Amino acid sequence: EGVGPQEYVLIKLRVLPVEDEKRHSKMAALLEKGKVVYLVPATLRPETMYGQTNCFVLPTGEYGAYYIDATDEVFIMSARSARGLSCQMFKNNDGYTKEFGKIECLETFSGEELLGLPLKAPLAKYDKVYTLPLLTISMSKGTGVVTSVPSDAPDDYVSLKALQDKADFRAKYNITDEMVLPYEVVPIISIEGYGDASAVFMCEKLKIKSFNDKAKLQQAKDETYLKGFTLGIMTVGPHSGKKVSEVKPIIKEEMIEAGQACLYFE
Ligand code: A2H
């Protein structure tokens, strides 16, 4: 942790019409009121959004649907992060909410109730991605929602792979085959010596099998994150061929301009 606040980019993953009315009755009711609802993961790597394959929540986590009156949208996030956002500025000194520090919670959800929701993730190759379980999420960091980029984030790769390889893990959380099996890693950044999916490369090199390989996983994370930023070259999108360090602020601004993302500090 450095000095001063950490800037995160919140990515707006739109909740699509629910596919299982019974399972997702609360969300269906919210959408029926005509609300535009987003899961809003916090990321430090907005330039990796081309590689999204799913979104993660903590099954036992507590989330809420918070009304953002600046944009007439609903954000699914932790209460803690909603409170933080309500004290922050959007654009031109406008707050996210009319009244500074006031939050309006329209509905509450456990993480489990959010699993299996279909989402539209900005910049992603896949038209539809699903909400899946990630057991290492900290509810006291970011929004408690994490977007998954298995090509460049070792945690994301290990989790998605476990769900793909283990039918019992999927069954435990009512995750169907269609929600995970069609989703292959999308290579988006090439790093000399690490190939074009550095998280996969490092997990295979260090023979990381699960979250129990804590030290190796940390090494994989430190290395891919540092190398990705310093040596990475984009291989997809309009900025293909340019350095990650150069395009990161540009992609961030483009996503904010397009209404696909916003800033969050904590
Ligand atoms: B990053 P820092 Cl491709 N619990 O986004 C656990 N992890 C969380 C979280 C939470 N509550 N909130 C955010 N995160 C993850 C992309 C990514 C990320 C890539 C590569 C590295 C990377 C796709 N997942 O992070 O503790 C999010 O994952 C490397 C650090 O604030 C977020 O960025 O430093 C990052 O951790 C924030 O971690």
d(Cα 84, Cα 264) in Å, to the nearest integer?
8
Asked whether 113 lines ligand 1 (CB < 6 A), one says: no
Residue 99 CA: distances (Å) to CA of 78, 84, 197? 19, 13, 44
∠ at Cα 136 (261, 145), nearest 5°?
A: 20
Q: Considering only CA atoms, which residue is closest to atom 36 of ligand 1?
A: 43
pLDDT for res 92: 63
> What Rg do the C-alpha atoms of the chain give, in angstroms?
18
In this prediction, residues 165-190 reach a mean pLDDT of: 98
Which DSSP string do the residues of the chain spell out, in sequence order?
Answer: --SSPPEEEEE-EEEPPPS-TTTTHHHHHHHHTT--EEE--EES-GGGGGG--EEEE-TT-EEEEEEETTTTEEEEE-HHHHHHHTTSB-STT-BSSSSTT---EEEEEEHHHHTT-EEE-TT-SSS-EEEEE-TT--TTSTTSEEEE-TTT-HHHHHHHHHHHH-HHHHHHTT--HHHHTT------EEBTTTBT-HHHHHHHHTT--STT-HHHHHHHHHHHHHHHHHH-EE-SSTTTTSBHHHHHHHHHHHHHHTTSEEEEE-
- Check if the beta carbon of residue 97 is closer than 8 Å to that of residue 83: no
pLDDT for res 96: 75
Q: Considering only CA atoms, which residue is closest to atom 7 of ligand 1?
A: 137
Question: What is the distance in A from the centroid of ligand 1 to the CA of 14?
Answer: 20
pLDDT in tens, 45-55: 999 999 999 99
Please choose from 40, 45, 132 the residue to mutate so as to test ligand 1's pocket, defined by most ligand atoms within 8 A of CB: 45
189 beta partners: 234
Q: Considering only CA atoms, which residue is closest to atom 25 of ligand 1?
A: 44
Neighbours of 237 (CB within 10 A): 15
Asked whether the predicted pLDDT for residue 197 surpasses 80, the reply is: yes
Query: Mind listing the domains of the chain with CATH numbers?
Result: 7-265 (3.90.740.10)
pLDDT in tens, 85-133: 999 977 666 777 778 888 999 999 999 999 999 999 999 999 999 999 9
Asked whether 137 lines ligand 1 (CB < 6 A), one says: yes
Average pLDDT, the chain: 95
- Check if the beta carbon of residue 17 is closer than 8 Å to that of residue 88: no
Question: What is the distance in A from the centroid of ligand 1 to the CA of 131?
Answer: 16
Per-residue pLDDT band for 2 (boundaries 50, 70, 90) equals: low
Gap between the terminal Cα atoms of the chain? 11
Asked whether the predicted pLDDT for residue 257 surpasses 90, the reply is: yes
- Check if the beta carbon of residue 66 is closer than 8 Å to that of residue 104: yes
